[in-house]
Amino acid sequence: MEVLIKKLHEDAKIPTYATEGSVGLDLYAIENYVLRPNDVKCIRSGIAVAPPEGYYFEVFSRSSLACKKQCIILNSVPVLDEDFRGEILIYMKNISNDTVIINKGDRYAQMILKKKIPVIFKEVSELPATSRGAGGFGSTGK
């Protein structure tokens, strides 16, 4: 599927798949970043995209930063709506006790194109019963 992309910075890289079987397109940093313990930095991609009508992007952490270095995306899963045309900016937090370095050109997040499913709510006086009911966190056991 063709997606329009615009470089906003001369050092920006077009997102790429790491392998043939990858689902996420890797985003590349356009600057060097030093994240000390508990630091939050806005990581710039230098690109803007125009998802096709009826689609959007979700941005996820890369395991190399999230699991190995404990550097997480603050907005959980940022969403790039089909009508958003600004630079892709990802806020990352270092939750480790070590300094994390993201160098210019490093892959720091991945984005996945998803189909939008419009929702129409129907208000009712009761919801259908289930075995779980209103049980919250931990209500289903371990």
CATH of the domain at 67: 2.70.40.10
Name the token pair of 102: 């993201």
Domain boundaries, position 23: 4-115
- 35 in any annotated domain: yes
DSSP state of 79: E
Give how far Cα 122 sits from Cα of 115, 118, 126, 128, 129, Å: 22, 13, 11, 13, 17
How many structural domains compose the chain? 1
pLDDT > 90 in the chain, percent? 87
- 138 in any annotated domain: no
Predicted local distance difference test score (pLDDT) of residue 141: 67
- 68 in any annotated domain: yes
Q: Is residue 140 over pLDDT 90?
A: no
- 129 in any annotated domain: no
pLDDT, tens only, 64-107: 899 999 999 998 899 999 999 999 999 999 999 999 999 999 99
Name the token pair of 114: 């998803």
- 130 in any annotated domain: no
pLDDT band at 142 (very low <50, low <70, confident <90, very high): low
